[in-house]
Amino acid sequence: MKRQLFGAAVLAAAIIVPGIASVSRPAISLKPMVELKLQDLNGKPFDARQLKGKIVVADFWATWCGPCISEIPKLNELQKAYTGKGVEVVGVTMASGEPAEVKPFVGKHGMQYPVVMGDDDQTYALGLEGYPTTILITKDWKIFNTYVGAGPQKLKLIQADIDTLLSRGPSASAD
């Protein structure tokens, strides 16, 4: 009886407290990433194809989103930790006005990774349900994982997934 209760408690904890249980990723095909329509902070088109060949941490955020702002220091750390390793953190600003309004915000908050303007019309195609939403994109432009919201475990999960992708080597496919 005690063993059954203990097993039930462990199962409940694994369900209630994310990150306790180790979950392996099933061998499934990954979905292709949407072709993003982006602008730089000067209002000029930004070609997302220049990011292909890198692992991309695309953080979809808004200037009015408190949790988004609270993640900036952690995203700066992530960018620094993976500099020169084929990983690029990119902030994709959504629902925040014009580039001229966002540019001073980026400087004020010390964002040390590239920031571009997203196309709000792509919100549904991207499956964005709230901000921040971070999408980890493989070198061959497929969605490896999506992380919704903010919290202390989020960046650890992203780092673990990046390390998994990096361990596959330069020519390994994500799926």
Residue 86 lies in a domain: yes
Partners of 71 in beta bridges: none
Q: Is residue 82 part of a domain?
A: yes
Is there a contact between 133 and 158 (Cβ–Cβ < 8 Å)? no
Per-residue pLDDT tens over the stretch 50-80: 999 999 999 999 999 999 999 999 999 999 9
Strands 45-46 and 38-39, bridge-based pairing: antiparallel
19-48 residue pLDDT tens: 322 233 444 578 989 889 999 999 999 999
Per-residue pLDDT at 141 = 93
Instruction: Tell me, yes or no, whether 11 lies in a domain.
Output: no
DSSP collapsed to 3 states, the chain: CHHHHHHHHHHHHHHHCCCCCCCCCCCCCCCECCCCCEECCCCCEECHHHHCCCEEEEEEECCCCHHHHHHHHHHHHHHHHCCCCCEEEEEEECCCCCHHHHHHHHHHCCCCCCEEECCHHHHHHHCCCCCCEEEEECCCCEEEEEEECCCCCHHHHHHHHHHHHHHCCCCCCCC
Is the per-residue pLDDT at 8 higher than 60? no
Structural domains counted in the chain? 1
How many Å apart are CA 41 and CA 35, to the nearest integer?
A: 19
pLDDT score, position 175: 52
pLDDT of residue 26: 42
Q: What is the pLDDT of residues 128-159, one digit of tens each?
A: 999 999 999 999 999 999 999 998 899 999 99
Say if 20 falls within a structural domain: no
pLDDT at 152: 83
Threshold 0.75, pTM exceeds: yes
Q: Please provide the average confidence, as pLDDT, over all residues in the chain.
A: 83
Q: What is the mean pLDDT of residues 110-130?
A: 93
Asked if residue 7 is part of any domain, the answer here is no
- The 10s digit of each residue's pLDDT in 76-108 is 999 999 999 999 999 999 999 999 999 999 999
3 domain residue, yes or no: no
Residue 6 falls within a domain, yes or no?
no
Distance (Å, rounded) from C-alpha 77 to C-alpha 20?
Answer: 24
Q: Which CATH number fits the domain that encloses residue 118?
A: 3.40.30.10
Judge whether 21 lies within some domain: no
Q: Which domain holds residue 161?
A: 32-167
